[in-house]
């Protein structure tokens, strides 16, 4: 038998159904941007934590050895590559090679008392490499300061990292201006300032 709906039973009206459909259509427009912002905020926090950990490791290394590790330093049996531990996890020796033959491994390497990091964070949260670089007599861009020794972490970008996230890292670590200071955007063509085709340079340790 077909059950007849009593007068007290109510179903959805067409207007009510349209309202529900409209709400369902609006929700993604509200939720997705908020979720994206939350994800990016988490990535920025992780990158800042990595940079601070590397900076502390660099200063501890310097306190023991008397110098910073060489740029992209690596044992002679390994290829030169971005994203490799320069000596914070593994003890380096004088045979280790760098990408700058004029700035090798200095200081008293026998005094190395690491590891100073549990592991080298080879990949930043946006999927590319962290690289270690060491410069002597380094002119900090745009502020008229030269430091005798600078340990710099490079975050490879080339369009992978949103500008807002790069600026957020800069605000937390420095002054929020990607064209100058201890955190800045290095263009692949040699200029300084954001253009989406380069990498973020973060000076994490100086002497």
**Residue 137: per-residue pLDDT:** 93
- What is the spatial distance between Cα 52 and Cα 32, in angstroms, rounded to a whole number? 30
**Residue 35: per-residue pLDDT:** 61
Q: Is the pLDDT of residue 94 over 70?
A: yes
Each residue's pLDDT tens digit, 35-86: 667 788 999 999 999 999 999 999 999 999 999 999 888 888 777 677 789 9
Which residues are bridge partners to 146 per DSSP? 139
**Residue 150: per-residue pLDDT:** 93
| pLDDT class of 139 with cuts at 50, 70, 90 | very high
**Residue 158: per-residue pLDDT:** 83
pTM assigned to the model: 0.82
Each residue's pLDDT tens digit, 4-41: 555 555 666 877 777 778 777 776 767 666 666 778 89
The three-state DSSP-derived secondary structure of 82-111 is: CCCCCCCCCCCCCCCECCCCCCCCCCCHHH
Distance of CA 69 to the CA centre of its chain: 19
**Residue 72: per-residue pLDDT:** 86
Q: Is the pLDDT of residue 157 over 60?
A: yes
Each residue's pLDDT tens digit, 162-191: 999 999 999 999 999 999 999 999 998 889
**Residue 43: per-residue pLDDT:** 94
Residue from 56, 65, 64 nearest 106 by CA: 65
Residue from 205, 207, 189, 192 nearest 52 by CA: 205
| pLDDT class of 104 with cuts at 50, 70, 90 | confident
Highest mean pLDDT among 81-90, 97-106, 136-145: 136-145
């Amino acid at each position: 038998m077909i059950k007849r709906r009593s007068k007290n039973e109510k179903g959805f009206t067409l207007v009510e159904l349209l309202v529900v459909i409209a709400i369902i259509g609006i929700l993604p427009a509200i939720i997705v941007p908020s979720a994206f912002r939350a994800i990016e905020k988490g990535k920025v926090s992780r990158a800042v934590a990595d940079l601070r950990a590397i900076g502390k490791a660099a200063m501890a290394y310097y306190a023991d050895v008397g110098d910073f590790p060489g740029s992209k330093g690596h044992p002679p049996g390994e290829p030169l590559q971005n994203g490799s531990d320069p000596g914070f996890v593994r003890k380096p020796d004088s045979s280790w090679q760098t990408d700058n033959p004029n700035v090798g491994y200095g200081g008293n390497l026998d005094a190395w008392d690491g590891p100073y990091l549990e592991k080298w964070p080879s990949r930043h949260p946006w999927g590319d490499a962290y690289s270690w670089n060491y410069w002597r007599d380094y002119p900090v861009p745009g502020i008229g300061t030269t430091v005798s020794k600078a340990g710099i972490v490079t975050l490879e970008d080339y369009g992978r990292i949103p500008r807002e996230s790069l600026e957020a890292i800069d605000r937390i670590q420095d002054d929020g201006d990607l064209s100058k200071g201890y955190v800045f955007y290095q263009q692949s063509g040699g200029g300084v300032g954001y253009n989406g085709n380069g990498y973020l340079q973060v000076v994490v340790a100086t002497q």
